[in-house]
Structure 1
Amino acid sequence: MPAKPGYKVLIVDDHQHNLFTLRTLIEKHLDAEVLEATCGREAIDSTLDQRDIDLIILDVQMPEMDGFQTASLLKLRKRTRDIPIIFLTAAFKSEEFQQRGFAVGAVDYLLKPIDDLLLINKISTYFRLIEKERGLNRTLEQKVAERTAELEREKQYSERIITHMGEALLVLNPQGEIKFANPAACAMLDYQSEDLIGMAIGDVFEEEGDEEAGAFMGTWLEALIRTGALSKIDARFIARDGSRVPILFSRTALLDPSGQISDIICIAKNMTGYTRVPEDQDQDPDALVPAEPAANQGDSKAIRV
Structure 2
Amino acid sequence: MKRYAGFKLLIVDDHAHNLFTLRTLVERYMDVEILEATSGQQALDIAVREPGIDLIILDVQMPEMDGFQTASMLKIRKKTKDIPIIFLTAAFKTEEFQLKGYEVGGVDYLLKPIDDNQLLNKISTYFRLIEKERELNKILEQKVAERTAELAAAKQHLENIITYMGEALLVLNPEGEIESVNPTACKMLDYSEADLLRMSIGDVFEEEAEEQAGAFFGTWLEALIRTGALSRIEASFIAKDGRRVPILFSRTAVKDSTGNISHIICIAKDMTGYIRDMDAVQNAS
TM over 0.5: yes
- The yes-or-no answer on 1:128 pairing with 2:128 is yes
Match of 1:147 in 2: 147
Alignment of 1:186-201 (within 5 A): 186-201=186-201
SS at match of 2:51: coil
Match of 1:106 in 2: 106
Deviations 1:24-51 (A, max 9, x none): 2111111110111222222222222122
> CA separation in 1, counterparts of 2:244 and 2:210?
14
User: Is the Cα–Cα contact under 8 Å of residues 3 and 127 in structure 1 kept in the other structure?
Assistant: no
* Aligned residues between the structures: 272
State the shift of 1:273 in Å.
2.7
State the shift of 1:208 in Å.
2.2
- The yes-or-no answer on 1:231 pairing with 2:246 is no
Alignment of 1:209-224 (within 5 A): 209=209
SS at match of 2:117: helix
Structure number with the higher helix fraction is: 2
Indicate the structure whose relative CO is greater, using CA pairs within 8 Å and at least 6 residues apart.
2
> CA separation in 2, counterparts of 1:114 and 1:231?
84
Match of 2:165 in 1: 165
Match of 1:74 in 2: 74
> CA separation in 2, counterparts of 1:159 and 1:81?
45
- What's the TM-score, normalizing by structure 2? 0.88
Unpaired runs of 5+ residues, structure 1, are 224-229, 276-287, 301-305
Match of 1:3 in 2: 3
Deviates more, 1:265-274 or 1:133-142: 265-274
Q: In percent, how many aligned pairs have the same letter? A: 67
Match of 1:263 in 2: 263
Structure number with the higher strand fraction is: 1
TM-align CA RMSD: 2.4
SS at match of 2:245: strand
Match of 1:246 in 2: 246
User: Is the Cα–Cα contact under 8 Å of residues 204 and 238 in structure 1 kept in the other structure?
Assistant: yes
Letter of the 1:196 partner, please give it: L
Closer/same/farther in 2, CA of residues 69 and 76 from structure 1, 3 Å limit: same
Runs of 4+ residues over 4 Å off in structure 1: 209-213
Match of 1:202 in 2: 202
Match of 2:185 in 1: 185
> CA separation in 2, counterparts of 1:232 and 1:114?
88
- What's the TM-score, normalizing by structure 1? 0.83
SS at match of 2:149: helix
Match of 1:280 in 2: none
